[in-house]
Amino acid sequence: MSATLDGSATSELLGNAPVVKSEGRTYPVDIIYGQARQPKERVIDRMVATIKRALEDNPTSSVLAFLPGQGEIRRTADELSNWIHDRKIQGVHLRPLFGNLSIEEQQQAIAPLPGNKEPGKYKNDQKVVLATNIAETSLTIEGVDVVVDSGLVREAKFNPAIGMTGLHTAKISKASSIQRAGRAGRVRPGKCYRLWSADQQQQLAAHSSAEILNADLAPLALQLLQWGVDSPSELSWLDEPPRGAWQQAIDLLSSLGAIKQEAHGWVLTEHGQAMTSLPVHPRLSHLLVCGAARGAIKPAALLASLLSDRDPFSRDHADISHRLDILSGKSNCPSIHQGWLYRTRQLAQQFEQQLFNVKPPGQLAYLITAEQLPGYLLACAYPDRIARRRYSGGYQLANGRSANLVGQQHLAKNTWLAVAEVSSQTGGKGDTIRSAVKLDESLFESALSDAVQQQTIAEWDKKANRFIAEEQQKIGALVLQRTRLDSVPAEAKSAALIQHIRKQGLTLLPWTPALKQWCARVSLLRSIEGGQNWPDTSDEALLATLEEWLAPYLNEVNLLNDFKKLNLAEIIHALVPWEQQQLLNSLAPTHLSVPSGSSICIDYSESPPVLAVKLQEMFGCEQTPTVVAGKVPLLIHLLSPAGRPLQVTQDLAGFWRSSYHDVKKDMKGRYPKHPWPDDPLIAVATRKTKNRM
């Protein structure tokens, strides 16, 4: 078992099973912490400086340095090489170690240096192994007793929204940091230099997140369905598969024709049964079965083997045809990639042998030429990555993502591509196509016709600012053909318009201040008398119930301006029966008569409702006005003759007896033409000046 496994969680899953621990034979390792890691610092600079220090402090030791990925390994190696050359340092050998290297290159990193005949005996030469977390396993690297740890790892994370796996740089866990440091104590006491502080060590997560939480679950889903398990909830898990990734896996298997839904759940099809007999990802097993069904076992096996390993040519050539020519012997393979050639051909032979025992569900219709075959097979495996060139440049994938070919690629001349691998870069514009092949679009009418979907689209066109309805032939997000529809069911049209309103908001509709006040009045009565008597007229509720109150009136809306033609007052008022509308006018009137005789508008958009009135018009009024049968006192904004607030109160009687006299002192000299009586409760309310009273 892995030394970094969370043993207690596993024990609990197995009914509190006993845990047996074996510490193993290790030597003590001194931990040397560095400075606290800074957010934007270059890990290469710190690694190079620390490796130099480790070599100088330990002149008889070899160093194992952990870096997150190949890019960092290459750049670190380049800077160290320059340092070794400039200083004319003798006896320091740089050895990269990562999964994409040939077996021979990996062996050079693991084996003792030439001249070190006896294991454990070291001369003056030093080896620096620059490795990914491939060296974190039980592997023992001869001569290493010093570790330099960047504290970073490159993790593969699957994004179920786009069906692709991307690499992300993350901090390692405490368990991984202990595992890495232990590499220095395999053969004798050692040292571990960490590029972070002791405080930051305590902040690391105890364990790395389980792979099942970040992985593509299609292989797992296919295997479980083979067992008759169509839902993860039927099993007990150490970490339950995430719902989003599981649903994406089911959607993919369905699109590959591997499963079908029956009354009791998902089951394997005959094609899916054939796929389960091949020990590869469902995408590749689908490719192999489709190839076998067309009598193209050898080409399918070569392509599947190519896609099963890391592609050494993807940095320079995106065209998979180039690799297939090398594998089939039509082109020469560079000597540096001979290991890849041998491994890939050997795997292809294994696939061929396995396919002889697979019975595809019948021969497929339509003939395919040898030139069309790679594009067809790749499109079978990755239907969501079928790509079409955009007028503005680059490509759009069937999954909706944009992607580009980097550099001078002859593939860019093709309108359609079948894409196998894409990569994304933080801050980059779209994804980068790493491997692909041209795709003959005539296959959409023949061998790939199952990938084409017929769909009736009723939606709001943002560019044209109008409603459109059309029949579309689509591959995912790629529209092959559009046919404008003269008529569309009313339900489909209203659904599209309602979706547009929800995105844009209720401001699309022709609201008036009076209508907004009406809604606020209803909301007030609802809050006082309860929801059973009055509808919810808040913006949130109206948006949520558009289908109920607005949908019947949308049939004539085609253009943006048509929304403004809706009789929204009539539509909204229909939410309240006529009898209740009379009650609304009685309990929550729009205006209130004040002592001066004026009819003042009440603002129900505030809580409590506001009555803004000139102070002189309220003389003689001792009790605060109310609405809703005296249940809700109004908030009185007493205004100056110029209409500016002098006092805000819900206690009008208290105002006249106290604060009024201070207001009178301040305002009498400023507005001498207006009355400021000593006793406002016996004065005559007026909206006029003294001279006009």
Q: Using 50, 70 and 90 to split pLDDT, how confident is the model at 691? A: low
Predicted local distance difference test score (pLDDT) of residue 120: 44
Cα–Cα distance, 407 to 137 (Å, whole number): 38
Per-residue b/e over 350-384, b at no fewer than 16 CB within 10 Å? ebbebbeebebeeeeeeebeeebbbbbbbbbbbbb
Q: Is there a single domain that holds both residue 523 and residue 639?
A: no
Q: Is there a single domain that holds both residue 42 and residue 93?
A: yes
- Report which of 98, 184, 97, 101 is spatially closest to residue 140, judged by C-alpha positions: 184
Average pLDDT of the residues in 201-225: 90
Is residue 262 in some structural domain?
Answer: no
Predicted local distance difference test score (pLDDT) of residue 466: 87
Q: Is there a single domain that holds both residue 600 and residue 563?
A: no
Lowest mean pLDDT among 70-74, 98-102, 250-254, 591-595: 98-102
Residue 623: how many other CB atoms lie within 10 Å? 10
Is residue 74 in some structural domain?
Answer: yes
Q: Is there a single domain that holds both residue 518 and residue 640?
A: no
Report CA-CA distances (Å) from 362 to 257, 358, 625, 679: 14, 11, 86, 103
Q: Is there a single domain that holds both residue 143 and residue 157?
A: yes
At residue 606, does pLDDT exceed 50? yes
- The range of the structural domain enclosing residue 119 comes to 29-209
Domain-ending residue, one of 209, 230, 261: 209
Is residue 637 in some structural domain?
Answer: yes
At residue 657, does pLDDT exceed 70? yes
User: Pairing state of beta strands 431-438 and 466-475?
Assistant: unpaired
Q: Is there a single domain that holds both residue 582 and residue 600?
A: no
Predicted local distance difference test score (pLDDT) of residue 544: 94
587: alpha, beta or left? (left if phi > 0; alpha if psi -120 to 50): alpha
Domain-ending residue, one of 586, 604, 619: 586
Predicted local distance difference test score (pLDDT) of residue 118: 47
Cα–Cα distance, 493 to 476 (Å, whole number): 22
Q: Look up residue 647 and give its amino acid.
A: Q
Which among 19-23, 54-58, 496-500, 611-615 has the top mean pLDDT? 611-615
Cα–Cα distance, 157 to 611 (Å, whole number): 59
Q: Is there a single domain that holds both residue 540 and residue 613?
A: no
Is residue 184 in some structural domain?
Answer: yes
- How many domains does the chain contain in total? 3
Q: Is there a single domain that holds both residue 598 and residue 627?
A: yes
Taking CB atoms within 8 Å and a gap of at least 24, the contacts of 580-583 are 580/533, 580/534
Q: What's 55-122 look like in SS3?
A: HHHCCCCEEEEECCCHHHHHHHHHHHHHHHHHHCCCCEEEEEECCCCCHHHHHHHHCCCCCCCCCCCC
Is residue 596 in some structural domain?
Answer: yes
Q: Is there a single domain that holds both residue 42 and residue 169?
A: yes
Domain-ending residue, one of 554, 586, 618: 586
Q: Is there a single domain that holds both residue 594 and residue 670?
A: yes
Q: Is there a single domain that holds both residue 91 and residue 165?
A: yes
Is residue 623 in some structural domain?
Answer: yes
Tell me the two tokens of residue 220: 């797992």
Q: Is there a single domain that holds both residue 176 and residue 98?
A: yes
Predicted local distance difference test score (pLDDT) of residue 124: 66
Is residue 104 in some structural domain?
Answer: yes
Interhelix angle 282-293/243-255, nearest 10 degrees: 0
Interhelix angle 243-255/218-227, nearest 10 degrees: 80
Helices and strands in the chain, H and E counts: 22, 25
Is residue 9 in some structural domain?
Answer: no
591-593, strands of its sheet edge to edge: 591-593, 599-603, 610-614, 635-639, 645-649
Tell me the two tokens of residue 107: 């062996």
Lowest mean pLDDT among 27-41, 94-108, 544-558: 94-108
